[in-house]
Every structure is written in structure tokens, then in C-alpha cells.
């Protein structure tokens, strides 16, 4: 039980460290000169995200209000996810626990940026998509894995009856 939590904690800390190391690299290397990779399919470029995903709050709230709202939302996600991991430490599947850990790590990585800098550093640009970072990838991957874990049949859940093979053979 505690081994699972230790593994998940190492995953979270490693992801937050990787997120911040790549953000620091973007700050130092790509701030003034973006680097295009794979014929423009991926560009490494430094941007400061003072809003939320897709710039949804930009026109609605002041910069200070966005900082507090987004910081609070990330803090709730981190604390809520950590609480979930603690409460489900015995019954949760590895997939659920890993998914929650990815979301917690991603939210923590962006929360640290928002609290320390007042904005989040994004640096990965692909065509037709907003610029993002390692923490954003962890959140999206964790969310996708969470959906997959919900689609999987858990023990005791009702299932569709399978055809009886003995009757089909006759």
C-alpha cells in the first residue's frame, strides 16, 4: 500500500522536476529565437501564459483576478488529487492512481509557475494548437487515462451477458 504511494510520489516529483527543467531551458534557450523541428511540425518557443487554456478568461477578468482564480483552481486540483490518491490507496487500480498522479503533477507544475512568476511558461508549439508545456501534457494524458479507467469494467460492475457458446454449437 505505501509502496504504491511512494511510486506515485516519485512519479509526481519527477514530472514536476521535468516540467520545470524544460521550462527553464525554454527561458534560457528559446526566449528570443524559437527552434523549428520536423519541418515546422514542432517549434520550441518561449511564451508566457497569463491566462488559462486557450485564453478563455482574457477578456472577462483582470490580470490580478485571473492570477487568483487560476492559482486557486490549481491548488484545489493539487490538494483534491492528492486527497483522492490517499483515500484510494488500497482500492484504486494502478491506472486510476497513475492517471490521478499525472493530473496532480501537471497541476502542481503549473501552480508553482503561477505562484512564483505570475504566469506559466509554455514552449511547445504544434500547428493548429495553442502553445503548451510538459505539465499540460501530463494533465491531458492523466485525464485521458482516467476516462479509459472508467471505461474498463471494474469487479462487481454489471456487464453485458455474453452468448452461451454451448448453445451456439448445437
103-138 pLDDT, tens digit each: 889 989 998 998 899 889 999 999 988 899 999 999
Q: Which of 51, 64, 136, 164 is catalytic?
A: 136
- Is a pLDDT exceeding 60 seen at residue 80? yes
In a domain, 95, yes or no: yes
**Grid cell for residue 40:** 515546422
d(CA 146, CA 42): 27
- Inside any domain, residue 32: yes
What gap in Å lies between CA 28 and CA 169, rounded to an integer? 69
- At residue 54, the pLDDT reads 52
Is position 170 within any domain? no
The pLDDT of residue 160 is 45
In a domain, 33, yes or no: yes
- Using the 8-state DSSP alphabet, how is residue 132 labeled? B
* Residue 49 forms part of a structural domain: yes
Are residues 115 and 78 in contact, defined by beta-carbon separation less than 8 angstroms? no
Confidence of residue 22 (pLDDT cuts 50, 70, 90): very high
Does residue 140 have a pLDDT over 70? Answer: yes
Q: What percent of the chain has pLDDT over 70?
A: 78
Q: What mean pLDDT comes out for the span 155-159? A: 52
Q: Do the domain assignments include residue 159?
A: no
What local confidence, expressed as pLDDT, does residue 83 receive? 80
Tell me the mean pLDDT in the region 144-165. 65
In a domain, 106, yes or no: yes
Average pLDDT for the chain: 81
Whole-number CA gyration radius for the chain: 20
Structure confidence at residue 89 as a pLDDT band (50, 70, 90): low
The domain of 117 spans: 2-150
Residue 64 is among the residues annotated as catalytic for this protein: no
- Please name the residue that has the C-alpha cell 526566449: 31
Higher pLDDT, 48 or 51: 48
pTM (2 decimals)? 0.76
| H-helix or E-strand spanning residue 31 | none
CA distances from 63 to 48, 50, 153 (A): 13, 7, 44
Residue 165 lies in a domain: no
* Count of domains for the chain: 1
Amino acid at each position: 500500500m505505501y509502496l504504491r504511494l511512494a511510486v506515485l510520489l516519485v512519479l509526481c516529483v519527477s514530472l514536476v522536476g521535468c516540467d520545470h527543467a524544460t521550462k527553464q531551458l525554454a527561458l534560457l534557450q528559446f526566449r528570443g529565437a524559437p527552434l523549428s523541428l520536423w519541418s515546422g511540425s514542432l517549434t520550441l518557443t518561449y511564451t508566457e501564459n497569463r491566462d488559462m487554456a486557450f485564453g478563455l478568461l482574457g477578456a472577462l477578468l483582470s490580470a490580478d483576478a485571473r492570477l487568483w482564480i487560476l492559482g486557486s483552481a490549481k491548488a484545489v486540483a493539487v490538494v483534491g488529487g492528492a486527497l483522492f490518491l490517499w483515500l484510494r490507496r488500497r482500492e484504486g487500480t494502478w491506472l486510476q492512481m497513475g492517471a490521478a498522479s499525472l493530473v496532480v503533477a501537471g497541476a502542481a507544475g503549473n501552480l508553482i509557475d503561477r505562484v512564483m512568476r505570475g504566469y506559466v511558461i509554455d514552449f511547445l508549439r504544434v500547428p493548429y494548437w495553442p502553445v503548451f508545456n510538459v505539465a499540460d501534457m501530463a494533465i491531458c494524458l492523466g485525464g485521458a487515462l482516467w476516462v479509459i479507467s472508467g471505461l474498463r469494467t471494474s469487479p462487481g460492475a454489471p456487464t453485458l451477458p455474453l452468448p452461451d457458446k454451448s448453445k451456439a454449437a448445437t
